[in-house]
Chain A
Amino acid sequence: MMRTHWAVIGVFALVACQPADVDVDDDVGEEEVTDLRRPFPSPSEDAITWETPEWTIPAQSERQMCVAHTYGGEAVGIRAQRNYQSPMGHHVTLFGTTVSDREMPDGEQWDCTSLEALSMTDLEPIMIGGSIVEDEDGSLNEFILPDGMGAVLKAGQRIVIQSHYLNTTQSDILVGDAVHLDVIPEAEVEIWAAPLVNTVTDLHIPANTDGYNVTFDCEFEDPYTVLYIGGHLHEWGDSFQTRYTPNGGTEEVIYDIPVWDPVLRDAPQYTDYLDGDFTVDTGDVFTTSCTWNNDEDHELEFPEEMCVTFGMIYPSKVPVICAPDE
């Protein structure tokens, strides 16, 4: 049985996990810990909430911490997601994972700063997007679906909460994050929204090569309305573009990152269409174009590098995945 088709099965992975190294002076702030834990607002009555453990982020360092859970309730529709983070937070993201509880028991927490510590192929976004705003206690990443809409959270769904911190101070900091999901029963969801993933996994980016490009098309088999789109590369990315061609129409650029910044791997830039004015019809095409500069002495393959247009669309209860190299 070939291995490649399994790659795309795990490919919902969209946000990478390997920040740039930051030198840590172990002598700095050894005795001093600044408590930056924040209060979390009361969730709505039916909300699902997860709080991370309290983590100590060393002075002048960058860390990603992860913790695993399992959603133990009935299947529901997620209406809104609110991620609360302490000051110095870069992002906190809720992922689904296909990793079994044998490999990653509930409550297990670990430093997932390195790519090896948390294979991206084990992750799939449940609902991402929205904007990050600073509040008086830290930051809030809020994404609210339009009225009547929900994204499914299935019974038994395994969860990973990933918290990324950049501690630029001279002292260690004590932090903690929370994820609040506003949910409604499945039966009350009028329109289902789901992730959109356009990707290729058969990547072979030659060693020591600049400007290597992969471009691929994905044709829609059904009509949808797009809520937002984004692009995903890893640290060897040079540029990213998504183009849209209506069936029989003219191609236009709808998402363009002419100079890729590795920080976008963890904190993607979205183009929102929350007012419902971007619809695609059967036969319309998204073209994804990824360019890399590989300064390594080895060929880069998936999942070391990726090339993904992602987003959310409706109506669909299941992810809409296109992987033309499968």
Chain B
Amino acid sequence: MSGHSVPSEIPIRHLNRSGPTSTALGIMIFAGVVSFFAALFTDPALAWKSYVVNWNYFTSLSLGGAAVAAVTWIVKAKWNWPIRRLHQSLVAFLPISFVLFVPMLVVLREDYFPWIAMMEYDPIVQKKAAYLNIPFLVSRNVVGVAALFGLALGFVYLALRPDLGALGRGGATAAHRWRERLTAGWAGQEAEENRSYHRMTRLAPVLVITWVVVMTILSFDWAMSLEPHWFSTLFGGWFFMASFWGGLAATAVLAVGLKGRDAVFDKHVGTPVLWDLGKLVFAFTVFWTYLFWSQYLPIWYGKLEWEQAWLATRLGPPWGGLSAAVIVLCFVVPFAGLLGARPKKSPRVLQSFATVVLAGLWVWQYMLIFPSLHHEGDAVFSALTPLIGVGFLGLFLTAIRWFLATFPAIQVWQPPVDPEPLEAEGR
């Protein structure tokens, strides 16, 4: 990572909320809700599959932001000082995500999971009954998701708190009330910084481990178990590393977006920050593909019928085209586009390729679920699925916008580790 120095003064900056953007976000959410209900009345299976794909995708991005924030905190990263708050802002979607998770647990217990019906007659599925049963599924999901979301929100709360003291008290707006609430029991700037630093340092590893475990459970329950005979030991790892990568790509898109809108961001989110962010987006492009290949190759080579079925479904018609799109969007385009230093340093180029990555990850999530639940006569792709996704995107962006408008969009306090001149590494 390139050398970075944190300035001695960091401005407190809030995102301005404009009317047209609010309208646009409202339209997106409305379109998503209408599309979901339209699908629910015409093809309920399509509606719920689309809902789960989008919940998985946006929750993964949000948790990816939390994981990036925690991991960079653990390794005492200095390069990301102006964009720490952007990683944290992705977590703002989690309370909404938790509410949206409830219908999945309540409604989908009847016939969504193929193993419910197979449990009656399939001896292999019957051997998994201790894990594949609705009461245990609901329990582990509720407990796991509540624990993970709680830890992520707690981590962000600790990161926010020392910044809020500098903003002063009082004010009647909703933002002021939030700040007031979050700074209850204020102990003074220095004490608050020390306390947050030490608590975040203790909490970050717990958050990362919980993220790994819960994402693994979510991947098994909401994607892998949809083909109950199929299993892959790497599936959980592939799933949570994609979340991490998505968190990085979403941060890149946000960072460049804010840079174009605000002079303060433009000044602080400079070329070295974008370059390092670009390096990480590129590195995880390679790493995601490595994990894909590590899973694909033994399955292809092993030639076991039950194991190849999962791949064969996705590689042949009618899904082959979408699988190819995943490889193109998740590997070919970002790898070719971000190779070399220049594209990573160019804000627009970095944002474009990070957007391609995010699009690729959406198609990837789609391909984890739709082929497994496909029945004869079902459409391979319906416009309603991305339209429901537009609704989720509206909620996701609304949450982030609220967060960055309510709290300082650049983290003002920084951990008490200052950048040192890295003489020996300056080659």
The answer to whether A and B belong to the same complex is no
